[in-house]
Homo-oligomer: A and B are copies of this chain.
């Protein structure tokens, strides 16, 4: 299957989302436009706006316009990506900093703030403070997830629960929220909103674990960055956490401690992970989350969107990029 199936029933609205995003990012300050456009033009899959629209498709409401809401969610996501570009100056210790790393911290930060504020302007167009509240709550959680990631860097004692809690906040909640907001903006009944929230949550968990696996198993060409970049930054993902628990875990632990000290032992550390069952066990999590996501769909009315979301969950399960 192909990811494009996701967009087949929402193509015209997705075009309008793109128009809206281009309009919002084309601001009077070229320096921010540049910082934001590389994200916009790189395109991404615009998954979250598609999720907002899909969330609405179970309960079509001709009076509601989901396009600004979908664009707002993408802006919130972009803001968090731009903020991820902000680095600590110590991060340059291990090599020559890029121009962006040297000069761009304040620009990245302001651009993220700007995109978030623009999202709020779109949201305030809906006469519904619930939407503001939901977005504020997810924003708090996303920050908590990021902080948790900073605090647990290189921490070989962290648990599977720590990891799952972190990716829930960092990734799964915004995906879940996307479906939720599309549904409530169209006036969907409470039971269906709940099913979509849970579907989105399980999908988001599967999505992030898959991402974390691919960071280890894919190629530099496909990823657009070095294999093992999470581990290089001290971000210990599910396969690594499981690898640490095995018999040879102490060797991996030692390598991670040396990574923290700045030593170039990443290839050795990766080999330890590959030789463990960590990746296999992480794949097991993906399968279980996908199965849970599929079960939530059963609670939703029979609409074309239902089959699309089923295919989407299947796609996450098998994707190799």
Binding site for B on A (CB under 8 A): 28-29, 31-32, 83, 86-90, 92, 97, 101-107, 109-110, 112-114, 116-118, 120-121, 123-124, 126-130, 132-133, 135-137, 139-140, 142-144, 146-148, 150-151
Q: Across the interface, which residues of B come within 8 angstroms of A129, CB to CB?
A: 124, 126-129, 132
Complex Cα distance, B101 from A88, in Å, reads: 8
19 A-B pairs besides A124-B130, A124-B132, A124-B136 with CB distance below 8 A are A29-B148, A86-B105, A86-B109, A87-B89, A88-B106, A89-B92, A89-B97, A107-B150, A110-B146, A110-B150, A113-B116, A114-B147, A117-B137, A117-B139, A120-B133, A120-B135, A120-B136, A121-B140, A129-B132
Contact B117 A88 (CB under 8 A): no
Contact B110 A143 (CB under 8 A): yes
Contact A106 B87 (CB under 8 A): yes
Complex Cα distance, B285 from A197, in Å, reads: 55
Contact B110 A88 (CB under 8 A): no
Complex Cα distance, B139 from A92, in Å, reads: 31
Chain B: minimal CB distance from A188 (Å)? 20
Q: Report which of B29, B120, B142 forms a contact with A151, defined as CB distance below 8 A.
A: B29
Complex Cα distance, B105 from A109, in Å, reads: 10
- In this complex, what residue of B is CB-closest to A123? B132
Chain B: minimal CB distance from A15 (Å)? 25
Contact A124 B117 (CB under 8 A): no
Complex Cα distance, B107 from A31, in Å, reads: 24
Q: Across the interface, which residues of B come within 8 angstroms of A102, CB to CB?
A: 88-90
Contact A144 B29 (CB under 8 A): yes
The dominant DSSP class at the A interface is helix
Contact A113 B29 (CB under 8 A): no
- In this complex, what residue of B is CB-closest to A32? B147
Q: Across the interface, which residues of B come within 8 angstroms of A109, CB to CB?
A: 83, 86, 109, 112
Chain B: minimal CB distance from A94 (Å)? 13
Q: Across the interface, which residues of B come within 8 angstroms of A106, CB to CB?
A: 86-88, 146, 150
Q: Across the interface, which residues of B come within 8 angstroms of A28, CB to CB?
A: 144
Complex Cα distance, B130 from A126, in Å, reads: 10
Contact A103 B117 (CB under 8 A): no
Q: Report which of B120, B121, B130, B140 forms a contact with A114, defined as CB distance below 8 A.
A: B140
Q: Across the interface, which residues of B come within 8 angstroms of A112, CB to CB?
A: 109, 113
Chain B: minimal CB distance from A36 (Å)? 12
Complex Cα distance, B160 from A12, in Å, reads: 47
Contacts A90-B102, A120-B135, A129-B129; A113 near B83 (Cβ below 8 A): yes
